[in-house]
Amino acid sequence: MAAEKTKQLPSVWARQQREPDQPALSRASIVREAIVMLDADGIEALSMRKLGARLNAGATSLYRHVATKDELMELAVDEIVAEIAVPPAGGPDWRAAATEAAASFRATALRHPWLSSVLGQAGLAYLGPNLMSFSERLAALFTAAGFPEPGRAIDTLLSYVIGMSTTEAAWLTTVARSGETEADFIARLMPAAQQAAAEHDHLAESYASPPADPVEIRDSKFAYGLEVVLDGLALRLAQA
């Protein structure tokens, strides 16, 4: 009886890349073009067929480098994570370093609005070299700060940043599709929002007037929540 075939792990990082038969087409060029499409039109607009057309290559040629769209997303996520800056470990202020890393993550996620929404859906994407490097740098930062379980601190920080970035990116995508500035979009939305909140005292007050600077409001909300998260982590560190 033939031996049972070993099941392949569902990740691009768990298999060897095939030798290319079309020198002009490479995994790197495929991923770069996919990111351009993702940034412009989002995940729903990306398909192997459309990507092949943009690269003047058939889908079959693409599949020699990337087996599935899921693998393509793994590669795209890992490529973008390289843009996130994490300060060196061992500095005098771990909170300042964590704040800088969180801000860099948020800025990267807003440049690439699809990123946060797929981070938890990319299979074994955390095996990618850039994601591994990013995780290692965060682990070094929190270990140097004295956290006995740095992985839990990292999960807490990233859960906040990814959650906020996902919501914020979705909002900005909606604004962009309107063709208006954020301030103009909010001003047009406000009458309906005020009417909906009219019978709710606390909400009516908060919707009384549009924000003077929507960007400043978003920055302030993110900074407030991040301070709360870091306050909690600092308390756990003191207790440890």
Please write the tens of the pLDDT for every residue from 120-154: 665 555 788 999 999 999 999 999 999 999 999 99
Say which residue, 126 or 46, is predicted with more confidence: 46
Q: Which of 170-179, 191-200, 202-211, 219-228 has the highest mean pLDDT?
A: 219-228
Residue 15: name the closest of 77, 64, 62, 58 by CA. Answer: 64
Q: Is residue 2 part of a domain?
A: no
Count: domains in the chain: 2
- Asked if residues 208 and 190 have their Cβ atoms less than 8 Å apart, the reply is no
Segments forming the whole domain that contains residue 233: 84-239
Q: Which of 34, 57, 80 is the last residue of a domain?
A: 80
**Residue 160 and residue 56 share a domain:** no
Query: In a 3-state reduction of DSSP, which class is residue 122?
Result: coil
* 134, two tokens: 């990013």
Q: Give the model's confidence band at 61: pLDDT under 50 very low, under 70 low, under 90 confident, else very high.
A: confident
Residues 156, 100, 175, 164: what is their CA dihedral angle, to the nearest 10 degrees? 10
Name the CA radius of gyration of the chain, rounded: 22
List of residues 6+ apart from 93 with CB closer than 8 A: none
**Residue 91 and residue 31 share a domain:** no
